[in-house]
């Protein structure tokens, strides 16, 4: 089992240790649950209060932390980022041996890097390519002509449709469907005819995508997920969306066709975005918001509500809406008083 | 084919029969569709009206049902609960033979109870345990160190990540993803670093979870689903949620991180709950509501809307909001009248 | 590689060509990206503007298109419908050979038409029937007694529960779950007892269903999806819903139990529909709307909002709600002026 001394933790995180520098730490845990053998971290004021009762053997704390109780601490710029580093050392992911499980079905023309791993009952189609260090877990179906780069991790039961391109260090959680047909139909007056979806999907480096999320292929061209973007569970990304770099999208949000999202935007959960809308770089969209078709969301103030508006405006309106029952009463009383005045 | 007499139905349900006690009943059906050989049930006033035209051979009715037409009935405390009992006898689930399908991939170190069933192409990982009478259907992937208790039913194509613990008599519908990583990232100023999710998931006895629902593993500790809780399709439960006992959660609802839900709470469909919010025991949340971060929903009156408020308050506000166009007109007229008065 | 001359395109679409009739077209692309070897199409005014800068070798245009630049065009009644026809010729779907993959598990009593295709690791249960020309892709699980008609396309990792009936030319995208139990429980005062769901699902001809969509089986009778209906990703259709013909349902919408939707209705994304509600034929429901339990949505004006109302009414209310902060201020000023008048 791996372990680190407090001094070792300080070195790993570029921090400054105080207290018992040679104390041994075995794992990382939440403040409320950590024991003397465990590290925890303080990343806001509320956590600082909880920390007072924490039994954690060592705390990662902000630089200005007031250590009045003389605990064993390590001061760092960002305790949460530092904790992630320590977790990586103390809780390494279980090693997954390379090699192809005998029950996997690999097409003869597929090209697998020698040190990739393919799990039980996985299926890999004709002319598909899997890069070095990539893991295709049990039950995944990788269709024809898919190209997957290096060090990707496709968790169990992921489906990748034909021709999708996935770059390097991409993580796809279970149940993801990448490259299903976009929802395109043309009404001929009697019934809907399918508008064939002949585009693809491009997922760039370092993207992580949550469980059961669906990213549809483009009608023409590609649906793109930019480098470093993180997408939560059950998100719907329709055909021809162009999602920028380092975007964060929380669970159950849905993007209609051809939506553009700029780099570093943050989109909350259960947001609905109409087709051809644009969310600009670094814009912030509150959870549950609705962005109308072709609308542009600017950076600056976060937006909220349906239709989404600047947060302050939306909150002001919510507050005054709560007063409408009063308004009705007052209006009635004023009306009576004015009538009285008119008669007098 | 199984059958029950009306007298037998009364005995089974602890009810009181009237009419043809030896009439044979073969199956259960909806009031509008039931035939003379079928049972149906009356569980509210609307159903009582439909029942007048029903051809059902026997009706399960409330104790105070007025049987003016002298039908064959069985009076019971709760007709719907009683109907469920009869269905279990007349429509037994198809028996599923125990044993491991030859195409399943079972790790050598996995421990399977002798009378569990493992379907075609299912995959069971190292050190996983499957209890007596449990069914792991075709295409399921049960990863390393998972512990599944007795008499569980995992429908086809379920994915259970490493280390998840599932108690007894738990039903997981197809496409469920249990134990995928929580959505945790730390922004280092340039890009998002993954905050490794080293906790687990605990699903207690008698839980049923709908198709394509995702329950993420905790960052630390466990995400817990309490005993007897019923969850519908495509629900998202994020890392470190603590869902109590006998909770009901309708489809497409999403819980952000570390939400607490008390026992016997009822949460409608498409509800969004912000992180660290609390829904207290027996609280009721209307469909489509939005609960803000860290908010506490008390029991008592149901809540509705975004942000969620007591139902009466929300309805009053909806009603007065519908009057705002009128308010604007009246305000204008009053303004003019006051101006006139001021001039006079 | 297939190709068509401009004259050939006109013949295929029943249109009228102008310009270089013998120019060869190899593929179809978006206006902005099409090259001289490619066809594109103009289906609205905005597209007509973009078309001016398009390098496309040929354009499908409406009958009244003003071809002032004397481009090579084909005039048609509906350019998008025509484009779909051309795509089908120039981008034929990759042929999928018939036959059963050796790794598939087919029950002995299953009946497969000689020219259907069953992919790797697919599972087909007892007494299931698969019609001629149907494709069951890799990883699909088709349970006992399922009947699938002719020329259906089940993409990878679809799950079809026992007894479901699927007609002809139905497309199910990956991760679809058809026939999981409806969400039916009876509360006995202490805990929820399962109300067994003994009905089925019927999917009629020419239906297409998006990725990870769930359609639950009925409590009694069937949950029905009518002929020609198109359903997007991650839609939830609960037990006993009756969805009409040629209905369109966008992504992440959810229908509670026993909802009726009439033919040719259009339902936007992320809509929530309460149980027993009715959406009449040709009604239109805006994205994100909430339809209350037992409510009837009429055809005519589209509806929007929660609770959903006629669009004009909803927009009027949104506009006046935006003025409530002003109303409060004005009301205060009027009150003061009236007080002054009363004192004078």
Say which of C188, C194, C254 has its CB closest to residue B270: C254
Cβ A186–C81 below 8 Å, yes or no? Answer: yes
Closest CA to C214 of A91, B225, A234: A234
- Taking only the tens place, the pLDDT of each residue in A262-313 is 999 999 999 999 999 999 999 999 999 999 999 999 998 899 999 999 999 9
User: Which residues contact residue A129 at a Cβ distance below 8 angstroms, ignoring those fewer than 6 apart?
Assistant: A110, A111, A112, A146, A147, A148
Number of residues in chain C: 344
Cα of B190 to nearest chain C Cα, Å: 32
Exposure letters C21-35 (e unless 16+ CB within 10 A, then b):
eebebbbbbbbeebe
Closest alpha carbon within chain B to A90 = B198
Q: Residue B314 is encoded by which pair of tokens?
A: 């929300």
Closest CA to B272 of C288, A259, C297: C288
Say which of A123, A180, A331 has its CB closest to residue C211: A180
More confident residue, C269 or A318: C269
User: Which residues contact residue A131 at a Cβ distance below 8 angstroms, ignoring those fewer than 6 apart?
Assistant: A113, A116, A148, A149, A150, A151, A152, A168
Residue B120, strand partner residues: none
Q: How far apart are CA B146 and CA B153, in angstroms?
A: 15
Determine if residue A314 is left, alpha or beta; phi over 0 gives left, psi from -120 to 50 gives alpha, anything else beta: alpha
Pair type for strands C303-304 and C309-310: antiparallel
Residues in chain B with CB shorter than 8 Å from the CB of A207 are none
Residues in chain A with CB shorter than 8 Å from the CB of B250 are none
DSSP-based three-state secondary structure for A31? coil
Which residue, chain included where needed, has tokens 């980022």?
A: A81
Cβ A335–B334 below 8 Å, yes or no? Answer: yes
Residues in chain A with CB shorter than 8 Å from the CB of B193 are 81, 84
Number of residues in chain A: 344
Please state, as a whole number, how many other Cβ atoms lie within 10 Å of the Cβ of residue C339.
Answer: 11
C99-312 falls under which CATH superfamily?
Hexapeptide repeat proteins (2.160.10.10)
Cβ atoms of C128 and C149 within 8 Å: the answer is no
Q: How far apart are CA C41 and CA C30, in angstroms?
A: 8
Residues in chain C with CB shorter than 8 Å from the CB of B331 are 327, 330-331, 334
User: Which residues contact residue A91 at a Cβ distance below 8 angstroms, ignoring those fewer than 6 apart?
Assistant: A27, A28, B196, B198
Q: Quick check: bond before B213 cis, omega within 30?
A: no
Cβ B334–C337 below 8 Å, yes or no? Answer: no
Closest CA to B159 of A90, C175, A304: C175
pLDDT tens, chain C, 344 aa long: 789 999 999 999 999 999 999 999 999 999 999 999 999 999 998 999 999 999 999 999 999 999 988 999 999 999 999 999 999 999 998 888 889 999 999 999 999 999 999 999 999 999 999 999 999 999 999 999 999 999 999 999 999 999 999 999 999 999 999 999 999 999 989 999 999 999 999 999 999 999 999 999 999 999 999 999 999 999 999 999 999 999 999 999 999 999 999 999 999 999 999 999 999 999 999 999 999 999 999 998 899 999 999 999 999 988 888 888 888 888 888 888 888 888 88
Probe site for chain A from C174, C254, C334 (most A CB atoms < 10 A): C174
Cβ B84–C195 below 8 Å, yes or no? Answer: yes
* Catalytically annotated residue among A101, A173, A236, A239: A239
Residues in chain C with CB shorter than 8 Å from the CB of A161 are 155-156, 174
Residues in chain C with CB shorter than 8 Å from the CB of B321 are 317, 321
- Give the CATH fold of the A99-310 domain: UDP N-Acetylglucosamine Acyltransferase; domain 1 (2.160.10)
Cα of A149 to nearest chain C Cα, Å: 22
Q: How far apart are CA B291 and CA B306, in angstroms?
A: 7
Cβ A144–C94 below 8 Å, yes or no? Answer: yes
DSSP string, C176-202: -EESPPP--EEE-SSSEEE-----EEE
Cβ B272–A287 below 8 Å, yes or no? Answer: yes
With contact defined as 3+ CB pairs under 8 Å, the chains touching B are A, C
Pair type for strands A296-297 and C111-112: unpaired
Closest CA to A218 of A202, A236, A201: A201
Q: How far apart are CA B224 and CA B255, in angstroms?
A: 13
Cβ B321–A321 below 8 Å, yes or no? Answer: yes
Task: State the DSSP code for C119.
Answer: -
Say which of A93, A325, A334 has its CB closest to residue B320: A325
Mean pLDDT value across chain A: 95
Q: Where are the beta strands (DSSP E) in B173-237?
A: 177-178, 185-187, 192-194, 200-203, 208-209, 214-215, 222-225, 230-231, 236-237
Domain residue extents for chain A? 4-90, 99-310, 314-343
Q: What is the dihedral of CA B287, B289, B293, B298, to 10 degrees?
A: -70
Q: How far apart are CA A222 and CA C28, in angstroms?
A: 14
Q: Residue C22 is encoded by which pair of tokens?
A: 């013998």
Q: What is the dihedral of CA C44, C48, C54, C59, to 10 degrees?
A: 70
Q: Quick check: bond before A307 cis, omega within 30?
A: yes
User: Which residues contact residue B75 at a Cβ distance below 8 angstroms, ignoring those fewer than 6 apart?
Assistant: B15, B16, B17, B18, B61, B62, B63, B65
With contact defined as 3+ CB pairs under 8 Å, the chains touching C are A, B
For residue B272, what is the enclosing H or E element? Answer: strand B272-273
DSSP string, C35-63: -TTEEEE--SHHHHHHHTT---SEEEEET
Cα of B188 to nearest chain C Cα, Å: 33
Residue A154, strand partner residues: A136, A172
Please state, as a whole number, how many other Cβ atoms lie within 10 Å of the Cβ of residue B49.
Answer: 11
What phi and psi, each to the nearest 5 degrees, are found at residue C88?
Answer: -60, -35
Closest CA to C285 of C294, C270, C275, B292: C270
pLDDT at B275: 97
Mean pLDDT to the nearest integer, A185-194: 94
Closest alpha carbon within chain A to C30 = A220
- The residues of C that are catalytic are 239
Residues in chain A with CB shorter than 8 Å from the CB of B181 are 173, 210
Cβ atoms of A7 and A20 within 8 Å: the answer is no
Exposure letters C96-112 (e unless 16+ CB within 10 A, then b):
eebebbebbbbbeebeb
Cβ C174–A161 below 8 Å, yes or no? Answer: yes
Q: How far apart are CA B133 and CA B152, in angstroms?
A: 7
> Domain C4-90, what architecture?
3-Layer(aba) Sandwich (3.40)
Q: How far apart are CA B222 and CA B200, in angstroms?
A: 5
What angle (nearest 5°) sits at the alpha carbon of residue A92, between those of residues A174 and B104?
A: 40
How big is chain B by its Cα radius of gyration, in Å? Answer: 27
Closest CA to A52 of A71, A75, A37, A80: A71
pLDDT at C342: 87
Residues in chain A with CB shorter than 8 Å from the CB of C328 are 320, 323, 327
Q: How far apart are CA B168 and CA B177, in angstroms?
A: 18
Task: State the DSSP code for C324.
Answer: H
pLDDT at C98: 86
Closest CA to A85 of A76, A95, A73: A76
Cβ A234–C212 below 8 Å, yes or no? Answer: yes
User: Is residue A344 pLDDT above 90, yes or no?
Assistant: no
Say which of B157, B290, B316 has its CB closest to residue A288: B290
- Taking only the tens place, the pLDDT of each residue in A177-189 is 999 999 999 998 9
- The residues of B that are catalytic are 239
How much is the pTM?
0.96
What phi and psi, each to the nearest 5 degrees, are found at residue B6?
Answer: -60, -40
What angle (nearest 5°) sits at the alpha carbon of residue B290, between those of residues B285 and B296?
A: 65
All residue ranges of chain B with pLDDT < 70 are none
Cβ A234–B212 below 8 Å, yes or no? Answer: yes
Cβ atoms of C210 and C235 within 8 Å: the answer is yes
Residue C5, strand partner residues: C24
The ipTM of this complex is 0.95
- Taking only the tens place, the pLDDT of each residue in A149-179 is 999 999 999 999 999 999 999 999 999 999 9
Closest alpha carbon within chain A to B186 = A81
Q: Where are the beta strands (DSSP E) in A155-228?
A: 159-160, 165-166, 171-172, 177-180, 185-187, 192-194, 200-203, 208-209, 214-216, 222-225
Say which of B183, B214, B274 has its CB closest to residue A212: B214
Cβ C330–B327 below 8 Å, yes or no? Answer: no
Q: Quick check: bond before B287 cis, omega within 30?
A: no
pLDDT at A322: 83
| Cα C296 → chain centroid | 22
Cβ B321–C317 below 8 Å, yes or no? Answer: yes
Say which of B121, B181, B192 has its CB closest to residue A121: B121
């Amino acid at each position: 089992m791996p372990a680190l001394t407090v001094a070792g933790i300080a070195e790993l995180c570029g921090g400054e240790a105080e207290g018992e520098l040679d104390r041994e730490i075995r794992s990382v845990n939440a403040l409320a649950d950590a024991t003397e053998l465990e590290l925890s971290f303080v990343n806001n004021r509320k956590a600082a209060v909880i920390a007072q009762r924490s039994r954690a053997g060592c705390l990662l704390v902000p630089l200005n932390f007031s250590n009045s109780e003389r605990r064993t601490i390590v001061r760092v710029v960002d305790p949460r980022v530092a904790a992630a580093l320590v977790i990586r050392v103390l809780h390494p992911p279980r090693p997954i041996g390379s090699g192809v499980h005998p029950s996997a079905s690999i097409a003869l023309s597929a090209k697998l890097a020698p040190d990739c791993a393919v799990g039980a009952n996985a299926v890999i189609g004709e002319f598909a390519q899997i890069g070095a260090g990539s893991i295709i877990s049990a039950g995944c179906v990788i269709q024809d002509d898919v190209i997957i780069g290096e060090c990707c991790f496709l968790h169990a039961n992921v489906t990748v449709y034909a021709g999708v391109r996935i770059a390097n260090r991409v993580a796809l959680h279970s149940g993801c469907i990448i490259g299903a047909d976009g929802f395109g139909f043309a009404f001929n007056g009697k019934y809907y005819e399918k508008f064939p979806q002949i585009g693809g999907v491009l997922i760039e480096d370092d993207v992580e995508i949550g469980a059961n999320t669906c990213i549809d292929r483009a009608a023409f061209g590609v649906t793109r997920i930019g480098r470093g973007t993180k997408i939560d569970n059950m998100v719907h990304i329709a055909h021809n969306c162009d999602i920028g770099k380092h975007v964060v999208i929380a669970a159950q949000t849905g993007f209609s066709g051809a939506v553009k999202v700029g780099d570093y935007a943050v989109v909350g959960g259960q947001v609905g975005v109409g087709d051809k809308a644009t969310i600009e770089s670094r814009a912030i969209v509150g959870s549950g918001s609705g962005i109308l078709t072709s609308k542009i969301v600017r950076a600056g103030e976060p937006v909220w509500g349906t239709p989404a508006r600047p947060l302050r405006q939306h909150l002001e309106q919510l507050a005054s809406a709560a007063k409408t029952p009063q308004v009705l009463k007052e209006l009635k009383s004023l009306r009576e008083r004015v009538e009285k005045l008119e008669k007098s």
